[in-house]
């Protein structure tokens, strides 16, 4: 008699294990968001500008798209409380320095609302920071929190969160848009 209960208990255990396995599989399917959903949630606007400047400045296209998404959600008229403007949220004084270093003959603050100029300057700046710091993580910290703070080793929680968000978003853009992979 005891043997029969053991087999029944084994059957129940196997059934529960199967239910648990199916539940885990279902969660996995939900956790892996399909490409169409990712593209709705993470739009890619100004694609040719992003791809062109990523190529020109030897940047991962998905990284560049992720910075733009985190900075402005692809809003060309985005303005921060600190005075940063455009897709890549550049401060006018930073952009003026970039214009001088890249051979620009004149700089106007309104130019930062032009997607082509904004992404060109932002791409140059991101490449400059990657070259200066030698890695993307530190470059992103400087992009967000300022080079002076990074040079002094001062990283705010907000900056660390920003870096993590950009890197996560980069991975999403690479999955959602095959043309951004390289």
Does the domain at residues 40-180 carry the CATH identifier 3.40.50.300? no
Q: Which of 99, 123, 120, 119 minimizes the C-alpha distance to 109?
A: 99
What does the pLDDT read at residue 14? 76
What does the pLDDT read at residue 30? 41
DSSP for residue 109: G
What does the pLDDT read at residue 15? 67
Query: Quick check: 129 and 121 in contact, CB under 8 A?
Result: no
Active centre residues (catalytic): 71
Ranges of residues in the chain whose predicted pLDDT is under 50: 1, 28-30
Q: So where are the chain's domains? A: 2-32, 40-180
What does the pLDDT read at residue 29? 42
Q: Which residues contact 59 (CB under 8 A, 6 or more apart)?
A: 53, 123, 126, 127, 130
pLDDT digits (tens, 9 = 90+) for 16-47: 767 767 666 555 444 588 999 999 999 999 99
């Amino acid at each position: 008699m005891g043997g029969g209960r053991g087999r029944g208990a084994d059957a129940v255990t196997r059934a529960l294990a199967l239910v648990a396995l199916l539940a885990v599989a279902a969660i996995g399917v939900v956790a892996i968001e399909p490409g169409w959903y990712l593209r709705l949630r993470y739009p890619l606007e100004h694609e040719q500008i992003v791809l062109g400047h990523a190529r020109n400045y030897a940047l991962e296209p998905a990284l560049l798209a992720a910075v733009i998404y985190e900075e402005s959600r692809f809003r060309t008229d985005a303005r921060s409380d600190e005075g940063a403007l455009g897709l890549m949220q550049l401060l006018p004084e930073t952009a003026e320095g970039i214009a001088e270093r890249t051979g620009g003959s004149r700089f106007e603050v309104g130019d930062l609302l032009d997607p082509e100029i904004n992404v060109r300057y932002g791409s140059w700046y991101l490449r400059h920071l990657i070259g200066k710091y030698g890695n993307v993580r530190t470059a992103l910290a400087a992009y967000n929190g300022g080079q002076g703070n990074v040079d002094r080793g001062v990283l705010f929680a907000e900056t660390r969160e920003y870096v993590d968000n950009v890197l996560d978003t980069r991975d999403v853009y690479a999955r959602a848009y095959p043309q951004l992979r390289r």
